[in-house]
Structure 1
C-alpha cells in the first residue's frame, strides 16, 4: 500500500462505548473525507487509524482517506487551501497562524492535550532543562511547524534567546541519534514513537519532555467547510472519540489485537515489532487521555486561554479577536 496515500479500511470489530449513530454524510467532492497527518504514519495517529480499521467511520457513512503530509505547517496550509478536509497539527503553530487573520482554518478538536514532543540527547551529555539548549544545535524534522514553535516557546520560558539556538533539519527517527554521536547536533526533537524505537535499539539516550504549557495536537479544518459539511465532521469526531474510548479500556492483549487490525489496513512502519508497537501505543494513549476519556478530543477552554496567554507573552502570537477553537462539532458528536 502506498505510504503517500492510504484508504481507510473497514473491519468487523464491534465497539464498546459506542456513541450515537449518524446519518449519511457528504464530504469532499468525490465522496471522500481526506485527513492529513503531519508526518509518516505511526501509532500516534491511532485514534484515526483504529476508527477506520475497526469500521467506525464506515458505520457513520464516512468514506475516510488518510494522506501523509510533510510537516505540521503544511497541514494548516492545505486545509486553508481546501486540499484536505481536516488534518492534525501542533496547537502552538496553529494558534500563531490563526491570529494572523489571513486564514479561516479553526481547531475543532484537541487530540493530544499536552505536547507529544520530547527532546532527545545522549546519556553521556544529557539535556535536562530548556535553559541548557542555549548555544546548542538542535535537530528538527521540519522548520516553521509545531516542533519549532514548541522549541521557541520552551526557550522563551527558560530565558534563552531563540536566535542563540541553531536548527538543523533531521529525520524524526533513530538515524538522528547518529548525528548526536557524530557531534553534528546536540539534541533533536522527537515524539513517543521515536523514543520507543530508540530504546528498542538499546541506545544510550536521555529524554526530556517538551512541556510548553499549550494544547498539544489539534484537528483543524476551514470554518466554511465545517459549516457546509457539518455532518461529515461530526461523524469524523464521533469515530475518533469512539476509538479513543475503546483503546483506553483495552489491556495489553486487546491493544495488540488493535495494533494488528491497524497494521492490516495501513502501512505503518515498524508496527511488526510487537514490543515496540505496544510501548508506542501506550505512550501515545497517555496524551489522548490526560484530561480523562470522557473529555477526549474536546478543546479545554481554560487550557486554550492559558496557552494563548503564554504565546502572547512570549511574543509568538499576535493579539486577535478571532475564536481559536470550536467545541460545536465535539458536542454534537458526543450528544
Structure 2
C-alpha cells in the first residue's frame, strides 16, 4: 500500500494550477514554455534550503506520461533529495535537445532515437537513465480506415505532434523494420487535442500519434469510432531516456543524481501501489487535468506505463541494458537514420542512478 503523507512525514501539498508564461532565452531567441514550480512551501525550502533545478520536458505536463515527475513533486520526493524543481516545457524533443545543449538546463527526457541521432552527429549527449522500454506512443485512427499493421499505414498521411520529433522518427523506424519505405507515409503536424480526431473523420489524416492517456481519453470520447495502434516493443530504439550533456554532468552531476533518485523512488511507488489509489490521491493533491482526474483513464494509463517502465517486470527501474542499447543503435544504422562507426556505449552511463536494491 502506498504510504500516506503522515507515514512518510511529508507535509501535505495543496492543489494548485500550473503557472504559464514565456521565457526569453538569448541563445535560442523567443522561447515559449510552461513553468511549474515544485516543492512544498512548507517543506525544507523554508529551513533547510532547497536547491533550484530545471528539468526540460518535451511533453506537456498535463499528461500521465510524466507521472513519475508529478508524483516526485506532489509526494515530496524531490524535496527529500534537497531539490526545488522547475519543469520547463519545450515544443517537442528537437527543441528540448537544443535547449539542453545550449546549457539552459541540465536534464531532459527524449526518445533514444533522438539522442542517438544527435550524438552520432557529434553532440555531447549521454543517456543517464532509461525510463520507458518500448513504445509509449499510440496511433489513434478511425475504425472506418483501420491501422492494425505497418502496411496499413502506406499511402496515407499521418498526424504527428512535431516535424522530426520522437513520434515522427519512431514511425519511420517502425515502417523500416517492417520492410517498408517510410517515405510512403506523409506527415502532417497537428495538435493533440480531442478536436484533432475530426481531421481523421474528415479524411484529412488517417490517424495521429498521441500519448497513452490521450489515446484512452479519445477512445472513450469517440467510443465506437476510434481505435488505437500500439507498436509495442518490436523496436529497441523506441525507448525514452533521461539525457544530459557531458558538460552538464561535470557541472550538475550531484543534482542529476538526486533528481534521478527521486524519480526512481516515485516510479517504484507507482509500481508497488497495485490498486493505484494512493499514488493518484497524492498526485491529485497538487495537480488536476482530464486524464489524471478520471479514475478509469488514470489507472489504465499507469498500468500500461508500469509495464513500459519495468519491461513487463524484467528490468530494474531506470537501468539501461547495454545489449538493448546497442541493438537500438544498430536498428538506426540499418535504417539509414544515423551513420555506422560509432560506439553507442559511449552515449550511456548508469553511474548516476541509485544502486539497485
1:82 maps to 103
Residues 142 and 207, structure 2, Cα contact 8 Å, conserved in 1: yes
1:2 maps to 19
The CA distance in 2 between the partners of 1:56 and 1:270, in whole Å, is 22
Q: Which residues of structure 2 form unaligned runs of 5+?
A: 1-17, 21-33
Pairwise CA distance, 1:269: 4.6
Residues 106 and 252, structure 2, Cα contact 8 Å, conserved in 1: no
1:239 maps to 262
SS in 2 for 1:172: coil
Which of 52, 62, 69 lines up with 2:90 in the alignment?
69
Residues 241 and 296, structure 1, Cα contact 8 Å, conserved in 2: yes
Residues 138 and 229, structure 2, Cα contact 8 Å, conserved in 1: yes
Query: Cα distance 1:286–1:105, how it changes in 2: closer, same or farther (>3 A)?
Result: same
The CA distance in 2 between the partners of 1:11 and 1:241, in whole Å, is 23
The CA distance in 2 between the partners of 1:25 and 1:133, in whole Å, is 53
1:326 maps to 349
1:149 maps to 169
Pairwise CA distance, 1:334: 4.4
SS in 1 for 2:192: coil
2:65 maps to 44
TM-score (norm 1): 0.88
SS in 2 for 1:295: coil
Query: Cα distance 1:144–1:186, how it changes in 2: closer, same or farther (>3 A)?
Result: same
1:279 maps to 300
SS in 2 for 1:111: strand
Residues 143 and 227, structure 2, Cα contact 8 Å, conserved in 1: yes
The CA distance in 2 between the partners of 1:333 and 1:269, in whole Å, is 36
Which of 190, 199, 206 lines up with 2:219 in the alignment?
199
Alignment of 1:221 with 2:244, yes or no, is yes
TM-score (norm 2): 0.82
1:17 maps to none
The CA distance in 1 between the partners of 2:41 and 2:303, in whole Å, is 22
The CA distance in 2 between the partners of 1:153 and 1:11, in whole Å, is 45
Q: Which residues of structure 1 form unaligned runs of 5+?
A: 14-23
The CA distance in 1 between the partners of 2:150 and 2:59, in whole Å, is 25
Pairwise CA distance, 1:203: 4.7
Query: Cα distance 1:88–1:196, how it changes in 2: closer, same or farther (>3 A)?
Result: same
Query: Cα distance 1:83–1:289, how it changes in 2: closer, same or farther (>3 A)?
Result: same
SS in 2 for 1:251: coil
Residues 2 and 267, structure 1, Cα contact 8 Å, conserved in 2: no
Which of 130, 139, 145 lines up with 1:125 in the alignment?
145
RMSD: 2.3
Query: Cα distance 1:207–1:296, how it changes in 2: closer, same or farther (>3 A)?
Result: same
Query: Cα distance 1:53–1:333, how it changes in 2: closer, same or farther (>3 A)?
Result: farther
Query: Cα distance 1:127–1:7, how it changes in 2: closer, same or farther (>3 A)?
Result: same
SS in 2 for 1:40: coil
SS in 1 for 2:293: coil
SS in 2 for 1:271: helix
Paired residues, number = 317
Query: Cα distance 1:181–1:124, how it changes in 2: closer, same or farther (>3 A)?
Result: same
2:321 maps to 300
Alignment of 1:248 with 2:271, yes or no, is yes
The CA distance in 1 between the partners of 2:216 and 2:69, in whole Å, is 20
1:109 maps to 129
Residues 237 and 333, structure 1, Cα contact 8 Å, conserved in 2: no
Query: Cα distance 1:233–1:333, how it changes in 2: closer, same or farther (>3 A)?
Result: farther
